């Protein structure tokens, strides 16, 4: 495969009829290649992951195409998602079709393509429902090779497409409830609405439905199953395009992370425990590696953000000092010209460096790394589930925010199968490592912010006190008849000094506000108290289900905290007048 492991993915899930008409296969292939070419053109820094169930018909057609494209040099990763273990799945194929299936599986093995085997369910159709849920949970784009006929056959192409496009209807009309989790899955999908999955429909007729034949075959994006299914849009919906562009930029940024920057990242689990975690599932290795990359990128952007904030504060202060100097002391054209040049240079610096964008990128990268931290320990505990229903990607609380879709996409692509409960890692051991990891981060940030707050508070008080002392001394000297000011020039210096120190205090306050120091300090302090209460819960109960529930609630809470931070930064960006 020609994928770059340092790049992120756009994940394309495929659902389609098993009895597509042979004469239409070339048309379907052409339309799918058109979609792939468009994604590669618009988002050159992203790999493309293609998920198929390897069923007869559309699935196998696209799987073979994906392998050919990958071997031809395209950055494509074909992935097989089998609805049940391979041995069981083989019995779903007739003798003549089984030979083709076995050959395709062997080709995928030979090409190092991942093959995911979902668990077997007693009712066979539930396996196909789980496959559909997996595709929805893990895909950024769902390609539906479909004739547009709506039906209630659970696990079929129509069912999966409807569940993706109309989660509210799937709750209200839920006829099938797979082991009690089907409705919960649909409810999460609907309420959180953080994963902007779009559906790309490729028209296809079925051998078994000659009366429902589509005369003119088209392809494009659809946003509803209640309208005209032949009204297909050629371009991605704007929201999806925005977050793909964001992903594309993030993927480019990850290429610049050095080994030295990675080495400074505090590990998710102690080195002595890493082998135990990594032996559980390859997913934990993927999440661990991605966390290191995003945390290193967040640290890098944090350092850059600090430098830009300090520079902006310094420029504000220098501009004010020069202007006050001209106004009160040195009314010389050279000073005024210097002010104008400095103002123009500061404006150009502001436009080129774009501190708002750097800070926004930092907060998103930090939110991603902290979400990956939660996802890692959820995966280790077995909370995510093999089809991804329990993933944090389904619970990111940021309706309508592009960044929420970006975080969800990153989380979706980091794991294939999760981990089942009840293996070698004890629940309390997982929680202990998680809380220690979280506490280390929050305690360090709280101590750092405490020092910054103390320094700024002291600085502000001193800057307010100094002009008071100067003015009081000046007025007292006049009252008692002792004139330590002998000229108009000296008088100007007194008033200049009295005016500049409050400006310095205001500049410090602006710096604190632009960095959201007070808000983050109190937020982190409250979160640390939250973790302490969670520790008390763990230490005072033997109920593992209760502990696991606390684990889940805490993970969602911490994720929500970072989404609030992202929104706060968006709302407190420096505007042009302030800039």
Spell out the per-residue pLDDT of the chain, length 579, in tens: 678 888 999 999 999 999 999 999 999 999 999 999 999 999 999 999 999 999 999 999 999 999 999 999 999 999 999 999 999 999 999 988 999 999 999 999 999 999 999 999 888 888 999 999 899 989 999 999 998 888 877 888 998 998 888 766 555 554 444 444 445 545 555 555 545 688 999 999 998 887 777 777 888 888 777 656 666 777 888 888 888 999 999 999 998 898 899 988 888 877 777 777 787 778 888 999 999 999 999 999 988 988 888 888 788 778 877 777 766 666 778 777 887 888 888 888 888 888 888 888 988 998 999 899 889 888 888 888 888 888 888 888 765 678 888 998 999 998 887 655 445 456 566 767 777 777 777 788 888 888 888 888 888 888 888 877 777 777 777 666 655 555 555 566 666 667 777 777 777 777 776 666 777 777 778 777 877 777 777 777 777 777 777 778 888 877 877 787 787 777 666 554 454
Measured CA to CA, the distance from residue 526 to residue 515 in angstroms comes to 18
Answer for the pair 1, 111: CB distance below 8 angstroms, yes or no. Answer: yes
Contact 361, 301 (CB under 8 A): yes
Q: b/e for 52-73, b at 16 or more Cβ within 10 A?
A: bbbbbbbbbbbbbbbbebbeee
Q: Are strands 198-203 and 219-222 parallel, antiparallel or unpaired?
A: antiparallel
Tell me how long the chain is. Answer: 579
Q: How far is CA 121 from the centre of its chain?
A: 32
The phi and psi torsions of 16 (rounded to 5 degrees) equal -165, 165
Integer Rg of the chain from CA: 30
- The model's pTM is 0.83
Distances (CA, A) of 103 to 54, 92, 96, 131, 149: 11, 15, 12, 22, 32
Q: Count other Cβ atoms within 10 Å, centred on residue 484.
A: 10
Contact 52, 104 (CB under 8 A): no
What lies within 8 Å, CB to CB, of 38 at 6+ separation is none
Burial of 374 (0-12, 13-18, 19+ CB in 10 A): buried
Contact 250, 406 (CB under 8 A): yes
SS3 of 124-164: HHHHHHHHHHHHHHHCCEEEEEECCCCCCCCCCHHHHHHHH
| Per-residue tokens: 512 | 């604190």
């Amino acid at each position: 495969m020609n994928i770059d492991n340092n790049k992120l993915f756009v994940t394309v899930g495929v659902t389609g009829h098993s009895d597509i008409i042979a004469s239409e296969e070339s048309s379907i292939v052409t339309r799918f290649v058109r979609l792939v070419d468009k994604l590669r053109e618009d988002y050159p820094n992203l790999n493309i992951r293609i998920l198929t169930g390897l069923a007869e018909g559309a699935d196998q057609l696209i799987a073979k195409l994906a392998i050919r494209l990958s071997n031809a040099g395209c950055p494509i990763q074909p992935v097989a998602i089998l609805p049940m273990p391979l041995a069981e799945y083989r019995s779903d194929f007739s003798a003549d079709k089984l030979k083709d299936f076995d050959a395709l599986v062997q080709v995928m093995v030979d090409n190092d393509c991942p093959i995911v085997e979902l668990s077997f369910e007693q009712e066979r159709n539930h396996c196909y429902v789980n496959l559909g849920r997996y595709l929805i949970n893990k895909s950024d784009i769902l390609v539906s090779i479909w004739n547009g006929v709506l039906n209630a056959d659970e696990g079929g192409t129509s069912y999966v497409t409807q569940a993706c496009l109309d989660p509210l209807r799937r709750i209200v009309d839920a006829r099938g409830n797979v082991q009690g989790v089907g409705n919960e899955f649909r409810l999460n999908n609907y309420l959180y609405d953080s994963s902007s999955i779009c559906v790309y429909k490729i028209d296809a007729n079925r051998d078994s439905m000659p009366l429902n034949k589509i005369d003119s075959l088209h392809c494009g994006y659809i946003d509803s199953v209640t309208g005209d299914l032949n009204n297909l849009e050629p371009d991605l919906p704007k929201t999806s395009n925005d977050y793909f562009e964001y992903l594309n930029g993030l993927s480019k940024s990850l290429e610049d992370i050095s080994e030295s920057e990675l080495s400074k990242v505090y590990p998710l689990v102690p080195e002595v425990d890493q082998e135990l975690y990594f032996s559980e599932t390859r997913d934990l290795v993927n999440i661990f590696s991605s966390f290191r990359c995003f945390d290193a990128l967040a640290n890098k952007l944090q350092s850059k953000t600090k430098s830009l904030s300090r520079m902006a504060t310094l420029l504000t202060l220098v501009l004010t000092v020069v202007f006050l100097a001209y106004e009160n002391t040195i009314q010389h054209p050279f000073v005024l010209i210097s002010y104008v040049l400095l103002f123009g240079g500061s404006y150009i610096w502001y436009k080129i460096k774009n501190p708002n964008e750097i800070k926004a990128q930092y907060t998103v990268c930090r939110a991603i790394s902290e979400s990956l931290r939660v996802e890692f320990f959820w995966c280790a505990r077995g909370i995510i589930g093999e089809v991804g229903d329990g993933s944090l990607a389904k619970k990111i609380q940021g309706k309508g925010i592009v960044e929420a879709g970006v975080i969800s996409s990153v989380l979706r692509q980091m794991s294939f199968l999760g981990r089942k409960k009840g293996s070698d890692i004890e629940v309390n051991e997982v929680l202990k490592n998680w809380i220690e990891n979280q506490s280390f981060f929050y305690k360090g940030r709280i101590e750092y912010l405490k020092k910054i707050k103390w320094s700024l508070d002291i600085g502000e008080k001193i800057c307010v006190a100094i002009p008071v002392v100067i003015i009081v001394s000046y007025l007292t000297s006049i009252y008692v008849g002792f004139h330590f000011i002998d000229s108009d020039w000296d008088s100007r210096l007194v008033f200049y000094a009295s005016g500049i120190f409050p400006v310095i205090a205001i500049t410090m306050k602006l710096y604190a506000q632009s960095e959201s120091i007070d808000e983050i300090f109190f937020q982190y302090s409250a979160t640390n108290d939250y973790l302490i209460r969670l520790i008390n819960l763990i230490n005072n109960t033997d109920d593992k289900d209760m502990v696991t529930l606390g684990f889940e609630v805490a993970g969602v809470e911490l994720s929500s905290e970072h989404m609030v931070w992202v929104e706060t930064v968006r709302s407190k960006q420096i505007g042009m007048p302030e800039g």
